[in-house]
A and B are shown apart, each in its own frame.
Chain A
Amino acid sequence: DGGITQSPKYLFRKEGQNVTLSCEQNLNHDAMYWYRQDPGQGLRLIYYSQIVNDFQKGDIAEGYSVSREKKESFPLTVTSAQKNPTAFYLCASSIMVGTYNEQFFGPGTRLTVL
């Protein structure tokens, strides 16, 4: 089955700790994205990557970091510099060319910082 997996589904961390969220896709997509979703708000783009070993900041990159060492994987680290990290995090991927470039989403990780 092709798709995007995110793990874990729920994550709890103490304030001041860094935490890494996993995102893996087996769709052979070039582009991958991280979004943050807060209650009553739309999705906001944190980082995106169009190709291995390259990534760009989105609208709210401060306090986050990413890596793209493999095409299939795009982990997101929430650092202690992120002032309000409790949120629902969604990973997505898409092909780079084509009319629609539909983004496929993973099931999300809910991060709670205690």
Chain B
Amino acid sequence: GDSVTQMEGPVTLSEEAFLTINCTYTATGYPSLFWYVQYPGEGLQLLLKATKADDKGSNKGFEATYRKETTSFHLEKGSVQVSDSAVYFCALRKDGANNLFFGTGTRLTVIP
């Protein structure tokens, strides 16, 4: 079945460090891929998305590239800030469907 696997956290980084959160997926066809962010005590917000191979989603300095050959959608940011501390979820939506499959989430803590 369809699934998403994220690197386990928690991840702790110093401010201005480089961030990578790995995400790989299993799905037939051509799913759409998403990264959502959840700040403490809040719901999820869409961070970025990509709908086809080699698409790069980007927002707020975060980037992720849809790699079909490696079934991956790793999240990266060149210089993290304290305000980036949150839980990050990778998700996929199967082609033609509306439901999302979520990874388990990765908690990021950025220290000054």
Cα distance A107–B45 in the bound complex, in angstroms: 10
Is A40 a contact of B104 with CB atoms below 8 Å? yes
B window 21-74: CB within 8 A of A: 32, 34, 36, 41-46, 49, 51
Residues of B in contact, count (CB < 8 Å): 21
Cα distance A43–B40 in the bound complex, in angstroms: 15
Cα distance A90–B89 in the bound complex, in angstroms: 14
Give the contact-size bracket for chain A. Answer: 20 to 34
B window 78-112: CB within 8 A of A: 89, 93, 98-100, 102-105
Is B93 a contact of A101 with CB atoms below 8 Å? yes
Is A102 a contact of B98 with CB atoms below 8 Å? no
Residues of B within 8 A of A42 (CB): 4, 89, 102-105
Q: Give the interface centre of B43, B102, B103, B105 by most chain A CB atoms within 10 Å.
A: B43
Given A102-B46, A105-B45, A108-B43, A48:B99 Cβ within 8 A? yes
Residues of A within 8 A of B103 (CB): 42
Given A41-B104, A48-B99, A99:B44 Cβ within 8 A? no
A window 62-114: CB within 8 A of B: 90, 92, 94, 96, 99-108
What's the count of A-B pairs with C-beta under 8 Å? 56
B44 CB to nearest chain A CB (Å):
4
Is B42 a contact of A108 with CB atoms below 8 Å? yes
Closest to B104 in A: A42
B55 CB to nearest chain A CB (Å):
11
Cα distance A44–B99 in the bound complex, in angstroms: 10
Cα distance A44–B89 in the bound complex, in angstroms: 12
Cα distance A81–B107 in the bound complex, in angstroms: 32
Is A100 a contact of B49 with CB atoms below 8 Å? yes
Q: Give the interface centre of A42, A44, A107 by most chain B CB atoms within 10 Å.
A: A42
Picked from B4, B32, B41, B44, the residue with its CB within 8 Å of the CB of A105 is B44
Which B residues are within 8 Å of any A CB, using their own CB? 4, 32, 34, 36, 41-46, 49, 51, 89, 93, 98-100, 102-105
